[in-house]
Amino acid sequence: MEHLPSWLLTQTAAHAGRLVTERFAEVGARGYHYRLLETLLGGPASQAELGRRTGIHLSDMVAVLNELTADGYVERSPDPADKRRNVVTITDRGRERAAELAARAEAIQDELLTPLTAAERAELVRLLSLLRKGAAPA
């Protein structure tokens, strides 16, 4: 069983997930928060668009945006051009939060990848990216 790539993937991802959960929990955040704030640094977007970019399901998006809005990290406003949509915008406070979480995310990578050399890290990223492409319509 330990020879199975899917097993190795899910076990190492569980380890990565624990690191992410622990380090973000130290500042009252979760993985979804980081994912959304990072995406919004690229500019305002609708909830549906954010869902497409981040992989967060629309039903979960509502809850996460509620949390980020309550904490003042993002703002939601109706799109005057299309009343079906909200436009979600990051706030200054949200930019700071994104920077804080990004720093934590980088530290997590270092911790996670400690057993690997720099060349091995690059190769791992390359191989995982190939697998990601193979799973595109996720």
| Residues forming the site for DNA (CB under 7 A) | 10-11, 14, 17-18, 20-21, 25, 30-32, 46-49, 51, 55-63, 65, 76, 79, 82-86, 138
Q: Which partner in its own copies, DNA, none is near 108 (CB below 5 to 8 A by kind)?
A: its own copies
Strand order through the sheet with 74-79: 45-46, 82-90, 74-79
Q: How far is the CB of 54 from DNA (least distance, A)?
A: 8
E strand or H helix that includes residue 31: helix 31-40
Only one residue has tokens 């949390």, namely 67
Structure tokens at 13: 């991802």
Q: How far is the CB of 1 from DNA (least distance, A)?
A: 12
